[in-house]
Chains A and B, each alone.
Chain A
Amino acid sequence: MTSRTSTRTLLWALLASIVVLYAFPFGYLVLTSLKPPTDAIAVPPTVLPKAWSLENYGTALATPGVIPSFINSTSTAVISTVLSVLLAVPAAYGITRYGTASGRIFVMLALVTRMVPPVAVGVPLVNLMSRAGITDTPTALALAHTTISLPLSIWLMASFFEAVPSSLEEAAQVDGCSRLQAMVRVVVPVVGGGIAVTAIFAFLASWNEFLFALLLTAVRAQTTPIVIANFQTQYGLQWGPMTALATLYSVPVVLFTLLLQRRIVAGMTLGAVKG
């Protein structure tokens, strides 16, 4: 009995140390953002601020383009999420419900899409967007981001649909629903939670994306990850304001996901997906 308790204690201690190691980096980022700019890069560094200061936040928010970039990040992510869900839901339904050869081929192709290095399609995409006359708009960036999130979304939605017994829409069809109606009115509402999970992942994929944003935006559609990287200019790097902006950009999603953690865990474990 005692040996069992001590094993328990050991396990907890192990876990606690992992947690500290895990929480530390982000905690240090937040603490650094609250130091005066010069202290932020002091040699040698300190963990806790010697003085607390919001100066870095002031500088970061006063930097032109920062606030619009938040709006751009949000609108890009929203457009991309909506598009992704709208395309993924019927596609995943078609794949899982009818088990056709075309469906299997499509799943394979969608998987292949996921293997495409963004850097390989980035530049052709830029040309495509500029031919369509939509470069430097949240829409163009959202379209690009959807190429990343759509395969994920299809994969996720397919797992959710698979969990729904097909007797459900059979019953609906007996009641006189068409196949489309059975899908839209009966099955889709049942996987509402799954759609929410899919949407969260699509949103995060877009919110955090860097390469396409770098290639596809200039001034009007610039998202925050680019602005964060912009603090590194040719002649210097403003660590202080950069940590402040990085904190501001991360805190909402971190809080948001902690609130919705159960759904996210469900999504990840179901589809084995990384957002």
Chain B
Amino acid sequence: MGRADPRLPGGDVRAGDDHLRHRRRRPGRGLTDDRFALALMAPAAVFLAVFVGWPLVKLIVDSLYDIAPLAGTREFAGLGNYGEALTSPGFLGAAGRTALYTMLVVTLEFTLGLAVALLFNALGRRARWIRTLFLYPLMIAPVVAGLLWRFLLIDNFGIVNELLTRLGIIGGPDAIGWLSDPDIVLFSVALPDIWLTTSFMALVLFAGLQNIPGDVLEAARLDGSGPWHTLTRVTLPLLRPVIAVALVVRGIDAARAFDVILIQTNGGPQSASETLSLLIYRTMVRFGEPGLASAMGTLYLIAMLGVALIAVATIWRPGKVVR
């Protein structure tokens, strides 16, 4: 039905326009390919410029000012906000925690995801329904996942400690303060994130595994290579591009984590789970210091870009994959 129907109501004017364009283009080929491509990209580019570019410019401009939103004052502060951010233990701590959180999430997801993908691959078609089941956490809102895990881990009535106690793994329901012990809380708040997206890792890696030609693995086996050796020397190098994409994508997402943590601990206890997103949000909207928050946001963005580019350059290595 989607095919052009010139008799569509309201279509007449446009139809005329169509003819006009044909006439204009046919003789001299009209737009060059370059221009045509540009015209196709233009709407999306304009959209992103307005709704992402402009706010980013605003962010960077604001980062150079001392702003008191309620008093309505705005004074140029040069790089003062950057100085303040870079010398504040809160910002540096949050930056460290963001890095740690990202590492934690990505490492665990990758390890678990790879294990599951290898399992799927070993079991073949019969594991299909399980692959379907694995999909479901991906669809759940991070807010819901955060609440759910908070509910599972919460002190006094969390089911996880209760079950661990009954299984005899821990001494009592109060043995682990998942969300109240500052030493482990960063790990605990990462659990929903890991739970939500390990499936993503698993499915992407599984697809990558399926694309590895069987004869390559067979050759390795015939060469007398053990399973571990095959995995580290043959399979993983072949998966490199897939792994790179998956790690970069997940790393970016994990570094921006906001709602899962907000809903679980709101950054506590003792700020032990306060990541940069939370700190910036707080500084911006709760403490009313948009200038400082913008400087933090800008630094955060620069760091993300830097790390992502390095990651892409070192592990992606586009082009021919080494055997």
Pick the contact of B122: A11, A246, A256, A275 (CB < 8 A): A11
Residue among A102, A204, A215 having the largest count of chain B Cβ atoms under 10 Å:
A102
Q: Judge whether A117 and B173 touch: CB under 8 Å.
A: no
A88 in the interface (beta carbon within 8 A): yes
- The total of interchain contacts (Cβ-Cβ below 8 angstroms) comes to 265
Contact status of A265 and B135, CB under 8 A, knowing A103-B37, A106-B45, A250-B140: yes
Q: Judge whether A272 and B41 touch: CB under 8 Å.
A: no
Pick the contact of B37: A102, A128, A272 (CB < 8 A): A102
Minimum CB–CB distance for A23 against chain B, Å: 7
Q: Judge whether B147 and A242 touch: CB under 8 Å.
A: yes
Alpha-carbon distance between A46 and B301 when the two chains are bound, in angstroms: 44
Residues on B with C-beta less than 8 A from A50 are: none
Alpha-carbon distance between A190 and B321 when the two chains are bound, in angstroms: 30
Residues on A with C-beta less than 8 A from B48 are: 109-110, 113, 147, 150-151
CB closest chain-A residue, reference B283: A119
CB closest chain-A residue, reference B259: A210
Residues on A with C-beta less than 8 A from B297 are: 117, 119-120
Residues on B with C-beta less than 8 A from A180 are: 21, 36
Q: Judge whether B43 and A90 touch: CB under 8 Å.
A: yes
Pick the contact of B249: A29, A154, A274 (CB < 8 A): A274
Residues on A with C-beta less than 8 A from B136 are: 26, 254, 257-258
Binary CB contact string for chain B from 112 to 151 against chain A (1 if under 8 A, 0 otherwise): 0000100100110001001111111111111110011101
B159 in the interface (beta carbon within 8 A): yes
Alpha-carbon distance between A146 and B47 when the two chains are bound, in angstroms: 9
A68 in the interface (beta carbon within 8 A): no
Pick the contact of A269: B40, B50, B203, B301 (CB < 8 A): B203
B204 in the interface (beta carbon within 8 A): yes
CB closest chain-A residue, reference B250: A274
Contact status of A274 and B253, CB under 8 A, knowing A178-B21, A179-B36, A210-B143: yes
Which of B51-59, B79-87, B176-184, B216-224 is near enough to bind chain A? B51-59
Interface residues of A in 70-127 (CB under 8 A from B): 86-88, 90-91, 93-95, 97-98, 100, 102-103, 106, 109-110, 112-125, 127
Residues on B with C-beta less than 8 A from A106 are: 41, 44-45
Alpha-carbon distance between A209 and B235 when the two chains are bound, in angstroms: 36
Residues on B with C-beta less than 8 A from A147 are: 48, 51-52
Interface residues on B, range: 35 or more
A18 in the interface (beta carbon within 8 A): yes
B2 in the interface (beta carbon within 8 A): yes
Minimum CB–CB distance for A68 against chain B, Å: 18
Q: How many residues of A contact B (CB 8 A)?
A: 95
Q: Judge whether A124 and B59 touch: CB under 8 Å.
A: yes
Residue among B47, B54, B116, B276 having the largest count of chain A Cβ atoms under 10 Å:
B47
Which of A36-44, A54-62, A163-171 is near enough to bind chain B? A36-44
CB closest chain-B residue, reference A47: B159
Residues on B with C-beta less than 8 A from A124 are: 54-56, 58-59, 62
Report which B residues bind A (CB closer than 8 A).
2-4, 21-22, 25, 33-34, 36-41, 43-45, 47-48, 50-52, 54-56, 58-59, 62, 116, 119, 122-123, 127, 130-144, 147-149, 151-152, 156-159, 162-163, 173, 195, 197, 200, 203-204, 206-208, 242, 245-246, 249-250, 252-253, 255-256, 258-259, 263, 276-277, 280-281, 284-285, 290, 293-294, 297-298, 300-301, 304-305, 308
Report which A residues bind B (CB closer than 8 A).
8, 11-12, 14-15, 18-19, 22-23, 25-26, 28-29, 32, 41-45, 47, 86-88, 90-91, 93-95, 97-98, 100, 102-103, 106, 109-110, 112-125, 127-128, 143-144, 146-147, 150-151, 154, 178-180, 183-185, 189, 204, 207-208, 210-211, 215, 225, 228-229, 239, 242-243, 246, 249-250, 253-254, 256-258, 261, 264-265, 268-269, 272-275
New A-B pairs, 17, CB < 8 Å, besides A32-B151, A94-B39, A272-B242: A25-B195, A43-B157, A100-B38, A117-B256, A117-B300, A117-B301, A119-B284, A119-B297, A179-B33, A180-B21, A208-B141, A210-B259, A250-B140, A256-B139, A261-B135, A269-B203, A272-B246
